[in-house]
Amino acid sequence: MKKRILMILAGLFLLQTAFAQESKEARDQRMQWWREARFGMFIHWGVYAVPAGVYQGHQMRRGGGEWIMNRHKIPVAEYQQYARQFNPVKYDPEAWVKMAKDAGMKYLIITAKHHDGFALFDSKASAWDIVDASPYGQDLLRPLAEACAREGIRLGFYYSQAQDWNNPGGSAARKVTSEGWLNPDSARIDAYTAANKGHWDPAQMTAFMDEYIDKVAVPQVRELLTNYGKVSVLWWDTPTGMTDEYAEKFQELLKLQPEIITNDRLKRPNFPGDTGTPEQKIPGADELDGRDWETCMTMNGTWGFKSYDHNWKSPETLIRNLCDIASKGGNYLLNVGPTAEGEFPQASIDILKKIGEWMNVNSEAIYATKASPFGVLPWGRCTRKEANGNTILYLSVFDWPANGKLTVPGLTNKIKKAELLAGGARLKTAAGPDGVTISLPAQAPDAIATVIRITVKGKIEMASAEAQKEMKTGELD
């Protein structure tokens, strides 16, 4: 035990030394594309798309479709039968990548292996993969990687490094059986999982986690980082049962892709990665700690496909979410859950098209922008860029003022130009005690979010309350 502790401490020292060796300039260069991208596509896809949220005629009461095996405590042998029905003959990676690109997304992250352990690629470390266990029999990731490279979309892989409910030795998060129809058997199942670290089937425990890490997880991550060209992101998930010793083995593999960006879910707290990952929420300004961060979110209520989940968020909500996230300096990773046949749900396609239409006009207000200097504004959100001694403010207006006057509170800089981003129509401004007021057309050009571009001299200066009272009204030069 003492020897193992010393090995872990030595590993942590080496890891911290490696982090310390990366200068701020080198880190900024590695993170630059990600910070400029602001918008990406998440894809949750796997065998779970076959049951599509329904087991033995019963819909899941909670959780995403990808959790059906755990939520319903489906035995390993039974769950593996779904793979025989997983035959995505309508899969068109070119179309998927084009939809992401047309929506204004700059990168794409797909579940190479989720918690059910099924690999969407040809893995030599496990036969529980698309090539060996399904009638499709072809690697799904290779053509997607090739399509991303052709279209200039950055590629990332999600990988469940700890939880694996099919490959023996993988961990399992304990989830109490919440599917009422399972009673009275649910009490027995819950007692079993409590006694067996979340596992519900003896087949899951025919190996130790050390064996799973060394024989399945580490080799598969090596395959992902070796066989698919440039990989820009590795998105870990749920470090259930992880140790620092296990995490070091994965961390070592990152040398295969020196420019790769990782998140904070490998093993907390000693392996923070590069980005924070708020899930299904947009953090408030008081929750931000200066780290790079990315909100991941579903379009409806599930990550993996559910046949009956039609609770879709509106394009308006999603576009305004994007504006909100960019205004706080974060990225938006928006999910699509394809069907077992390999198609995006039609609602997802329609939503992506609407987002793309808005981004085609207004992406300048999103890409390569920095957080708002004003915080959350009552009428919308703001992003900014700095260039040539000037600051460009992008005001995304959600609530168009009925009186045609929009106030940017506390802004004291000299206004060089104000205009609608769409079309470039010039707008008049006036400085006053509350900041700068912009005169707007009677009707909003875009009901979802109209963007106003303001160029001001110098960096943003905010007036004090007393100074604001003394400001004199003036019009745009």
Residues 211 and 317 in one domain: yes
Residues 138 and 166 in one domain: yes
Residues 201 and 88 in one domain: yes
Residues 120 and 249 in one domain: yes
Q: Packing angle between helix 2-21 and helix 244-253, nearest 10 degrees?
A: 40
Q: How many CB atoms lie within 10 A of CB 176?
A: 10
Residues 311 and 425 in one domain: no
Residue where one domain finishes, among candidates 365, 395, 424: 365
Q: Name the residue with tokens 């596992």.
A: 199
Residues 288 and 413 in one domain: no
Q: Is the pLDDT of residue 303 over 70?
A: yes
pLDDT at 276: 98
Domain presence at residue 332: yes
Q: Which helix (H) or strand (E) holds 435?
A: strand 435-439
> Tell me, what amino acid is at 73?
K
Residue where one domain finishes, among candidates 324, 339, 365: 365
pLDDT at 36: 98
> Rounded CA gap, 396 and 366, in Å?
10
> Rounded CA gap, 22 and 18, in Å?
7
Q: Which helix (H) or strand (E) holds 381?
A: strand 380-387
Comparing 135 with 15, the larger pLDDT belongs to 135
Supply the range of the domain harboring residue 154: 36-365
Residue 330, domain CATH: 3.20.20.80
406-441 as b/e: b if 16+ CB within 10 A: bbbebbbbebebbebbeeeeebebbbeeebbbbbbe
Residues 428 and 359 in one domain: no
Residues 254 and 388 in one domain: no
Domain presence at residue 248: yes
Residue 415, domain CATH: 2.60.40.1180
pLDDT tens digits for range 356-413: 999 999 999 999 999 999 988 999 999 999 999 999 999 999 999 999 999 999 999 9
Residues 208 and 338 in one domain: yes
> Rounded CA gap, 382 and 322, in Å?
11
Whether the predicted model's global pTM rises above the 0.85 cut: yes
Residues 455 and 418 in one domain: yes
> Rounded CA gap, 147 and 159, in Å?
20
Torsion of CA 258, 263, 268, 269, to 10 degrees: 70
Residues 282 and 430 in one domain: no
Report the chain's mean pLDDT, rounded to a whole number. 92
pLDDT tens digits for range 163-220: 999 999 999 998 887 777 777 788 888 899 999 999 999 999 999 999 999 999 999 9
